[in-house]
Chain A
């Protein structure tokens, strides 16, 4: 008796998802960007053998620094004129540059602790996270009390209607490219990193150092220098994810606004088998639950499905991305193998 209504609901829900696909796909890509950038940050760092769980803190720092330097730049230079596409202004560009530098600075601390001091890399990452949460919370309390004027944010690209209404692929073009500059930059970065990692000298060396640093050293690769470079580069990538949060997804900073996205990004990296494209794909998967919940709010379905969905408490949707992450991680992990030297400090053999 009860199976028929359940089946009916499932069919209705599938129909609703199909109907809302353009909206859901667009929202999923938009929400996946910080997770995907975190995942790619993890790929660059861990492929060279350094575990980076401090990326959450690097993102948070960059999100805060982007907002604050926007405030300072607007105060010093005025709001500036925005370009027609993306709404880029001089203060926004300065803010983005400073944010990336701040992420690289945090990454340098992590690199020093895990490569030079040879500390436990997970504890080092926790230090970055605690420091970032503390410093940004502390400064935010001080600065927010003066209600400053920020630099605003980037705007998404306006695509011509002919392009987005194309049959079959219109929704995909809309989802991927009707986004802000950092999001589109992340898509480009995904392709560039994928090619670099598997087709360039840097990529070969990175993978060699991540798998067998001693062997890499014997053929003349400077393990320590390469790891430093990769970790600092990964900090820049994480910083883009943080800047995306406070410059593109929203126009301001809130305390703890990363909300574990860096850690979801790490899970995306594992699920994506330590490749940029895989990490991006997993990030879209993780973000899609939140996109669906938005679709349900903005275009609430009617009828049986509507009553059923409105009976689901909002907290279920809040918890869903994290639950999906756990389930996928636990289901896939045995088949996803990390770089062999991941997390292990490297000590050069003493010359005798």
Chain B
């Protein structure tokens, strides 16, 4: 007898719901972003404030981190050889709190007037003047409280995952032998549990300001607090999703090579360093409010990027032994390519004396905080498809999905960068379409649509993957415990869990290791 989805405490079903819901909300945010750009091409943007705040609230809280935490909720217990999370019902509570938050945010837009905080939700340049727009309307209140619930749910998920990894590992699975993704979830989860409460605090104060006429964000020195507590680009969470990405990528590479990682310590240290250095985002002063996230903008923000580079180099180091084609490889390579493009773009930002309030600053945030983790999530979803739905995604479908999402996000970001380079202002209710700016806005809209079609291709690939169910390890070179569980895993995950004597227990078991 299967329990209703509403009641379940099975980490696999909860994680799958989490993944689907965050992709659906990604679609809602994308629709709002398309609406902005299509209207911008005509010069006037109706409901500009409402559309912008919806887009930014969903992207900032409800999409990227929850998507990765959803993947982790499914994969981590399998990787560490346990039948469940430490607090199974807590993960259900976190999921439904997340849903309640999303419902509140969307309900805010059924109110009249709709939340009109506009760009002030995550404004790159939060001037006290624009903050005065914080209005005591029911819609704006619902928006802020919905985001608050979403953030609290994120913290609960992170606490549950960290606790599970700390206390429920298989015999012999020391922390040093953890699969890379689980290691990244452990360190990134601690990071999320430390960083996100600050966001919750910031939102609390926004609500106090809105509802009770407080003065936190209307005083003369509010700028810097806003930047660090509320604006996506100034919070460590923006980079923590990339920590999960590094962990997942390391596991994908390990499966592709089918050999123990000679640079094991380097990979692990790099992942932990990325999770540590994400916090240097808080060193940026108010003067950097435009784009603290652009690497090399100051020495501090270059550190997380360097940590990521170290991990990617450790991947390259493993590839020289030859690599087997697995479906997740193309999306992963595209993620790396996107990272390189982002670095080039960020370098241009720096070289061109970047001007806050133009497409430049936006672009860098979208690149590092949204695009790269999103394409990486496509790779992770493809890689663990056998554990999610039962069988592997066909390589062409995986490649197509990765190409569409990566290509679409590149179009979006490049159009924004060109607009910024051209000195065009950020989108606003009345927007100048001169100098071909209207066409660039359309290019951005096409990019978003392309990325959305990529997600649909991925969904189709998953539907196909259900028919290929069967092999516990369809790739043949899975090294970690999740590949010992059946595909799809039964409710109790494992009939028996083998002892772990190395970071690659399954390779040891089949005698592939030296």
Co-assembled chains A and B:
no
- List chain B positions with a Cβ less than 8 A from chain A: none
- List chain A positions with a Cβ less than 8 A from chain B: none
